[in-house]
Structure formats: structure tokens, C-alpha cells
């Protein structure tokens, strides 16, 4: 299969390319990237006025399988990813049972190979059963194919155990993705940011210091063990400054932010809208401003969705009892373009770096590039397409999003994985699945 992508704006942060060129793909491999390619091909795409970028990479996705297939599956989550322009996703371990042994890692890999339309990389839990008591067999899970360790959804509160987990991660050259929340500093039943808005709504709060204490702890521990540490879903001014200071010291610290944390504040939280409930919660407008500053100055390296699907029935509960989380795979790109590029916070190449080469480097995978000879994971983006977000159009099983009706610009038009279309002219191609 030979595919020629013509006249697109090639945005490839890995080579610092931002120029109109053509790309020739043959048998799943990028063969040429230059101007004026002429070749006999099976398919030609006119990408005039479009961005042609490396396939997007999301290092923080909840696919819910095994155990919660009514919310999402490996298959449906991969569809949602492809529609959003993602070609590689890392699935978090807080499933039922958790991804805490090699057998479950193998099950996920086998199912993804058969059913997923994008690359799926499992993340392993840090402790057995995510109980925070005993470290998993890291070596066995690395051999089975995990890309990272994380206790996401929970924090390893035993500092000595977390220190050993970081040492093991360093030994096997994988990163640790840290969910930073001191459970002892969260009000019992805490459901939103602790502040003036939580007082107004009489909803129990989650304080900023509950995040910042663990950010500080894990930065210290990672420095001692020389481990690559990624601070997940950073949400506060203080956390951003802690990462900034660590980077200034030359430490191997990365940080990711979810789109909802650079677009929304706790001012929009309403007790009758549980789609505004996520963990970490929406913070203050001041926190959002500092997150945006951190994106602009490079403190925050990665944009990750924290795609967390829940059924309508689960979310239809009193605010304090409803589950945390929102879906994000099908809105992330548009929010980045609308809120960051169009508002001159980031240039297009800076945005794409945070969604391609930066996450690839953090995880340690050979992706996020349009270099000749590499696998043809490619996304063609229409950056000016204007529309309103409609959750009923999502291909995810779940529709829990606070962005219903939001006016945005930008959408993936084509998504190629291994040189094959999985999204073509905005429509999914599911093949024999």
C-alpha cells in the first residue's frame, strides 16, 4: 500500500520542521518527506491547508478493561483515540483486577493486538492489588511489556515503598507516572477543589496542598534513585512551581496536564453537574493561569487526556458520591488548538510537541516523529474546522464531558496507524474488527 500526502503543513517537532511538503508512505513506513513528490500510489490525500503531524500520543488513558467493560473497552477506547487523532495510548492499571502481574499484562496485549485500532501500551500498578502494601514483581511485568509504573487513582502513601518502586523503575529503565494526592489531607468525601466555591456549594474539598506535598516528596525520591518521574495531571500553581524548580536543578522530572485543567476552573462546578467532577479537581482561576504559564515556558512537557469514562448511570448520583473523571480523547486536540494555539499561548509546533515527541521521550518509545524510515503513524488535522462539541457523536462508550456545546476549532481528518487508515475523512475504518 502506497499513500501520498500532498501539500500539507508538515509539523514535526522531532526534526523542528514546520513547512509545506509531501509525505510518501509505503508498506507502513515513511519513505520520503520533501516537496514535489511524484509517484504512482494507491491513495493520494490533498492536505492543503491542513497540518500533517506525527500520530498523537496519550500517556494517560483509562480503558476500563478488565472489569468495567460497561464504561469502556480496549476496542471502544481505541476507536475514541483514533477519532481524536491518537495513534498510541498508554492504559492505566486501575482496572478490576488491577494490572499488577504479568498475566494481566499479557491479556491486555493479546486483546489489543486483536481488537485495538491504535497502539496500546499497558501501564503496570506499583503495588499488588493497588493496596499500597507490597511492591509488584516489576521485572516480570517489564518482560511482559509494561511501559511504565503507576498507582494512578491512588497514591502510594508508604514513602519507603514508593522509594523502592522508583529504584526498581530506574533499574528496568521505565518511568513512574505519579498520581500525587496525600489521602490524609483530603476531607473525608472530598469531591471538588477546597476553596470559596466549595464553601458556596457546601461540598467537601480537596486541598491544593494534598497534591503539592506528594509532588515534592516524589521529586525528592526520584532524584535519589535517578528515576524518570512524570507528575500526572498537574493542577495547581504550587505543583507547577515545584516542577519548575526541579527542572532548573537538572532533575529528570516531567509533568503532564489534562485539557480540562488549562481550560476550566472550579467556578463552573455545579452540584447538579457531576461531569465537572474529576481528580485532581478543577482548581481556581489563578491555578489555571499558572498552568497556562507552565505550558508556555516549558515547565509542563505533556498534554494527556486522563480519559476516564463512566456510564451515565454512574454519574447520575449526588456530587459527593459520583465517580471522578471525564472522557477526553475526542476533545483534546480541539481544546489545544482553540485554547492554546488560537490564543497565542503555544505555537502549532509547541502544541504538537506536547502531544507527540515529548510523551514519546518520557515513555521511552521510538514514536512521535515523521522521519524517513520510521513507522507511518500520522495524523492529518484540519486546524480551522469550527464546530460545537456534541457528546452524542463520541465513539467512546461513555459521554461524560463538561464540554458539551463548547465552540471549538480543529479536528483530526485522517489517522494512519502503521500506514493504514483507521480514520478517513473523519470516519472510522474498523476493518474486520
Question: Active-site positions?
Answer: 306
> Which H/E stretch holds residue 303?
strand 302-303
Residue with cell 511492591: 135
- Which residue in 330, 326, 334, 305 sits closest to 408, CA to CA? 334
- Which residue in 212, 190, 154 sits closest to 162, CA to CA? 154
- Which residue in 279, 264, 282, 277 sits closest to 316, CA to CA? 277
The C-alpha atoms of residue 257 and residue 95 are separated, in whole angstroms, by: 22
Return phi, psi of residue 316, to 5°: -85, 75
DSSP H helices, 172-236, are: 196-201, 208-225
CA triple 69-70-73, angle to 5 deg: 35
| Torsion sign, CA atoms 114, 116, 120, 124 | negative
**End-to-end CA gap in the chain:** 20
Return phi, psi of residue 255, to 5°: -145, 140
- Under 8 Å between Cβ of 110 and 134: no
The C-alpha atoms of residue 117 and residue 329 are separated, in whole angstroms, by: 14
> Which H/E stretch holds residue 33?
strand 29-34
My answer on whether omega of the bond before 219 falls inside 30° of 0, hence cis, is no
The C-alpha atoms of residue 196 and residue 318 are separated, in whole angstroms, by: 20
Q: Which residues contact 243 (CB under 8 A, 6 or more apart)?
A: 215, 219, 231, 234, 253, 255, 294, 299, 300
Residue with cell 469531591: 191
**Alpha carbon 82 to chain centroid distance?**
13
**Alpha carbon 149 to chain centroid distance?**
15
Amino acid at each position: 500500500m502506497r499513500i501520498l500526502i500532498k501539500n500539507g503543513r508538515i509539523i514535526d517537532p522531532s526534526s523542528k520542521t514546520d513547512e509545506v511538503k509531501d509525505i510518501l508512505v509505503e508498506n507502513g513506513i515513511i519513505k520520503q518527506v520533501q516537496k514535489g513528490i511524484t509517484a504512482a500510489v494507491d491513495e493520494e490525500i490533498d492536505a492543503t491547508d491542513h497540518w500533517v503531524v506525527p500520530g498523537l500520543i496519550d500517556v494517560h488513558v483509562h480503558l476500563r478493561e478488565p472489569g468495567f467493560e460497561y464504561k469502556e473497552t480496549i476496542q471502544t477506547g481505541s476507536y475514541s483515540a483514533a477519532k481524536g487523532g491518537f495513534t498510541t495510548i498508554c492504559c492505566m492499571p486501575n482496572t478490576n483486577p488491577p494490572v499488577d502481574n504479568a498475566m494481566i499484562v499479557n491479556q491486555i496485549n493479546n486483546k489489543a493486538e486483536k481488537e485495538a485500532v491504535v497502539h496500546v501500551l499497558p501501564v503496570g500498578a506499583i503495588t499488588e492489588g493497588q493496596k499500597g502494601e507490597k511492591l509488584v514483581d516489576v521485572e516480570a511485568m517489564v518482560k511482559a511489556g509494561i511501559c511504565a509504573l503507576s498507582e494512578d487513582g491512588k497514591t502510594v502513601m508508604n514513602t519507603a515503598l514508593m522509594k523502592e518502586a522508583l529504584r526498581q523503575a530506574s533499574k528496568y529503565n521505565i518511568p513512574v507516572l505519579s498520581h500525587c494526592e496525600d489521602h490524609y489531607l483530603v476531607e473525608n468525601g472530598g469531591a471538588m477543589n477546597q476553596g470559596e466555591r466549595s464553601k458556596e456549594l457546601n461540598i467537601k474539598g480537596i486541598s491544593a496542598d494534598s497534591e503539592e506535598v506528594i509532588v515534592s516528596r516524589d521529586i525528592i525520591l526520584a532524584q535519589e534513585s535517578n528515576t524518570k518521574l512524570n507528575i500526572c495531571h498537574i493542577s495547581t500553581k504550587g505543583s507547577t512551581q515545584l516542577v519548575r524548580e526541579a527542572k532548573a536543578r537538572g532533575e529528570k522530572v516531567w509533568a503532564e496536564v489534562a485539557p480540562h485543567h488549562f481550560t476550566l476552573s472550579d467556578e463552573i462546578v455545579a452540584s447538579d453537574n457531576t461531569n465537572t467532577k474529576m481528580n485532581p479537581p478543577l482548581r481556581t482561576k489563578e491555578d489555571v493561569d499558572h498552568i497556562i504559564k507552565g505550558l508556555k515556558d516549558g515547565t509542563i512537557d505533556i498534554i494527556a487526556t486522563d480519559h476516564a469514562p463512566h456510564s451515565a448511570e454512574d454519574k447520575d448520583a449526588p456530587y459527593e458520591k459520583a465517580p471522578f473523571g471525564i472522557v477526553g480523547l475526542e476533545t483534546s486536540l480541539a481544546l489545544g488548538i482553540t485554547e492554546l494555539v488560537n490564543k497565542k499561548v503555544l505555537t502549532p509546533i509547541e502544541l504538537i510537541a506536547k502531544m507527540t515527541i515529548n510523551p514519546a521521550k518520557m515513555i521511552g518509545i521510538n514514536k512521535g516523529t515523521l522521519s524517513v524510515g520510521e513507522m507511518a503513524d500520522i495524523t492529518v488535522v484540519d486546524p480551522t474546522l469550527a464546530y460545537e462539541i456534541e457528546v452524542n457523536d463520541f465513539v467512546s462508550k461513555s459521554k461524560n464531558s463538561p464540554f458539551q456545546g463548547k465552540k471549538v476549532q480543529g479536528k483530526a481528518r485522517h489517522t494512519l496507524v502503521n500506514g493504514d487508515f483507521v480514520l478517513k475523512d473523519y470516519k472510522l475504518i474498523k476493518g474486520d474488527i
